[in-house]
Amino acid sequence: MDLTDPGDVTAEDRAFRAEVRGWLEDNLVGEFAALKGLGGSGKDLEAHDERLAWDRHLAAHGWTCIGWPEAHGGRGLSLTQQVIFHEEYARANAPSRVNHLGEELLGPTLIAFGTPEQQRRFLPPIRAVEELWCQGYSEPGAGSDLANVQTKARLDPSTGSGTGAQWVIDGQKVWTSLAQFSDWIFVLARSEPGSERHRGLSFLLVPTKQDGVEIRGIEQLTGGAEFNEVFFTGARTDADLVVGEPGQGWAVAMGLLGFERGVSTLGQQVGFRRELDALLDLARANGSLGDPVVRDRLARADVELEVIRLNALRTLAEEQAPQQASIAKLLWAGWHRTLGELAMLVRGSDALTAGPGYALDEWQRLFLFTRADTIYGGSDEIQRNILAERVLGLPREAR
């Protein structure tokens, strides 16, 4: 989505776009130039430390947390300018960010639900990319059905430093992305014994670097282990590191999911356009563009990407419409997964084999990783349930 296309942006927005573009041109040079295109879904293990340095460079120049209010260390930018930033970032092929869970999920949640002390303690190191976060929601028996969380937390009054009491956590999380790089994990845990479903849960901030937390990588189809199992065995965190009221964590957890399905995805079709253009180049180069089926599917992908762009524009216009997040997720996730399948068609039958040592090329990796796009962040089926029940008012599914 290039907001300059519709011609409805302000002079201020155009100047902002020029500022972002200029800054990225001037700064994605030297050691950082080598990071272009690195990281992202299925590639998050690539050059992690170097990308961390890049993120800190962004932070030092005020380019992290740009949508946060100024009072909390952000720039307080409008939604339109945030999207412009994400578009220019994607256009510059800048590396994928390492702390998006802290910046885009936990930060806004603390701003909305945290105490002033929690905000003072945790927001500055997120903004400066000094502390990395991961998300401890899913469990073996609680994915789409998140209210089935079984990890337990109890308040132990006899321990702890400042407040004299600590939470003690026991249980297991799974599919925890980037836990191995994280300093902290936000955990949804059952703090009221005997409680059921969404009642009696608490939203806790837990340090990962302690004896009671064990992180085990899970190898993915793409060969790397970006996500993990996280085991809590008597893990501890201070009593005041609960966000919202104890037992009322469901509201906080849902608030966070609203941010997860939010702004950052609006600019991503610029990156998708680059992937589609590269696939088109490959189809030209290897002759598969001569196949009418391939041509037809590439054309369809092009048209559907335009629909995603227009939907993003509509989302900007309707800003707070609740259905937009689900519609956007359904559109981009399905499109991207289909692009992965199309890439295999263009690559032809030799795409069926990996190189020595399970070496995958970018298209094989795209195909394999995009199987996950329609699962994480709320699966397609769950998005359709949300639209059916909460937007269209259809009868609720039997529960």
Ligand X SMILES: Cc1cc2nc3c(=O)[nH]c(=O)nc-3n(C[C@H](O)[C@H](O)[C@H](O)COP(=O)(O)OP(=O)(O)OC[C@H]3O[C@@H](n4cnc5c(N)ncnc54)[C@H](O)[C@@H]3O)c2cc1C
Q: Does 184 bind ligand X (CB under 6 A)?
A: no
Torsion of CA 9, 15, 17, 19, to 10 degrees: -170
Cβ at position 333, least distance to ligand X in Å: 11
Cβ at position 169, least distance to ligand X in Å: 15
In this complex, which beta carbon is closest to ligand X, that of residue 145 or of residue 302? Answer: 145
Cβ at position 385, least distance to ligand X in Å: 5
Q: Which of residues 198-237 bind ligand X (CB under 6 A)?
A: 227
Distance CA 351, CA 332 (A): 24
Find the binder of ligand X among 375, 387, 388, 391 (CB under 6 A). 375
Q: Does 180 bind ligand X (CB under 6 A)?
A: no
Q: Does 259 bind ligand X (CB under 6 A)?
A: no
Find the binder of ligand X among 89, 122, 133, 175 (CB under 6 A). 175
DSSP assignment string, 71-86: GGTS----HHHHHHHH
Find the binder of ligand X among 109, 166, 176, 268 (CB under 6 A). 176
User: Which residues are 203's β-sheet partners?
Assistant: 188, 243
Helix (H, G, I), strand (E, B) or coil at 359: strand
In this complex, which beta carbon is closest to ligand X, that of residue 177 or of residue 191? Answer: 177
Q: Does 367 bind ligand X (CB under 6 A)?
A: no
Q: Would you give the binding string for ligand X spanning residues 378-397, x where CB under 6 A is met?
A: -x-xx--x-----------x
Token pair for 231: 């085991």
Which residue's Cβ lies closest to ligand X?
143
Find the binder of ligand X among 138, 191, 268, 311 (CB under 6 A). 138
Find the binder of ligand X among 144, 163, 195, 286 (CB under 6 A). 144
State the number of CA atoms in the 13 A half-sphere of 134 facing the CB.
22
Token pair for 182: 């994280």
Handedness of CA 237, 239, 245, 246 (dihedral sign): positive
Cβ at position 158, least distance to ligand X in Å: 31
Q: Does 370 bind ligand X (CB under 6 A)?
A: no
Token pair for 180: 């191995």
In this complex, which beta carbon is closest to ligand X, that of residue 106 or of residue 111? Answer: 106
Q: Does 251 bind ligand X (CB under 6 A)?
A: no
Q: Does 135 bind ligand X (CB under 6 A)?
A: yes
The continuous run of DSSP H or E covering 203 comes out as strand 201-207
Distance CA 389, CA 304 (A): 26
Distance CA 392, CA 166 (A): 44
Q: Is 246 left (phi over 0), alpha (psi -120 to 50) or beta?
A: beta
Cβ at position 377, least distance to ligand X in Å: 7
- Catalytically annotated residue among 260, 304, 306, 389: 260
Token pair for 100: 């998006």
Confirm whether 50 is a catalytic residue: no
In this complex, which beta carbon is closest to ligand X, that of residue 117 or of residue 381? Answer: 381
Q: In terms of DSSP bridges, do strands 133-136 and 184-190 run parallel, antiparallel, or are they unpaired?
A: parallel
Q: Does 326 bind ligand X (CB under 6 A)?
A: no
Stretch that binds ligand X, among 71-79, 175-183, 199-207, 340-348 (CB under 6 A): 175-183
Q: Show Cβ contacts of residue 55 under 8 Å, excluding neighbours closer than 6 positions.
A: 64, 97, 98, 99, 129
Helix (H, G, I), strand (E, B) or coil at 229: strand
Nearest by Cα to 312 from 291, 329, 333, 294:
329
In this complex, which beta carbon is closest to ligand X, that of residue 20 or of residue 188? Answer: 188
Total residues interacting with ligand X, rule: CB under 6 A:
20
Q: What is the CA radius of gyration of the chain?
A: 22
In this complex, which beta carbon is closest to ligand X, that of residue 178 or of residue 294? Answer: 178
* Residue bearing tokens 């939604």: 79
- Site residues (vs ligand X, CB under 6 A): 134-138, 143-145, 175-177, 227, 372, 375-376, 379, 381-382, 385, 397
Question: What amino acid positions are annotated as catalytic residues?
Answer: 260
